[in-house]
Amino acid sequence: MLMFKDKVVIVTGGANGIGRCITEEFRKQGAIVYVIDKQHGEHFVGDISRKEVLEDFASNVLSKHVKVDVIVNNALPLMKGIDECSYEEFQYALSVGVTAPFYLVKLFMPHLSEGASIINISSSRDRMSQPQTESYTAAKGGIAALTHALAVSLSGRARVNSISPGWIDTAYNVYEGPDATQQPVGRVGNPMDIAHMVLFLCSDKAGFITGENICIDGGMTKQMIYHGDCGWKLEHV
């Protein structure tokens, strides 16, 4: 039996990587999936930082369907750090990563089906950072916070959850040595690790879950790291 037969699913940034995997898995389960991505392909092509593009995309979907069952806000914001990121680039990252998910939900809100589900793809960078990642980290922190706000505002109308991936190799490369063994689970993640959770959260099995953020990072953010402990070594300051 197909879990999402004839359900209408929206995926932003669905042309590649995690978004493409999510799209494919929903289609395998019978869903009708509409993708918007700035990369050219057999989907709606457009830059979701632009208000009119989001409105055109929503109108296109709603011209074919009365109701929408699932929205997956997955599009990837720009990653630049404070040394090089301009004001305009920082605003662009927030537009793609926070404003667009907010506005897309707003556009589809009157058309959400009973039991609708919204999934926001955040990042483990919403709670930890590397240097020079401010634009991406701010956007991912924003969408994580937007998730619980929407969950409360849409109470009784839709469940809203977010997922924070860690290191996900979108080319499905298999790593050996320290890259793998540093992860408590012993491997680097792949897009299927995220897609499985997305489909679960959108299913009836997750009917009592809303407003949550689920970090899928192989345990990396739970691991204390100190110089000289368990083989960890700081080589420069």
Q: Which residues are catalytic?
A: 136
Q: What is the maximal distance between C-alpha atoms in the chain?
A: 61
The whole-angstrom separation of Cα 153 and Cα 112 is 14
Nearest to 21 by CA among 182, 199, 166: 199
Residue 16 phi/psi, 5-degree rounding, is -145, 170
Whether 93 contacts 136, CB under 8 Å? yes
- Which residues pair with residue 160 across a beta bridge? 118
Concatenating the DSSP letter of every residue in 55-99 gives: HHHHHHHHTT-S-EEEEEE-PPPP---TTT--HHHHHHHHIIIII
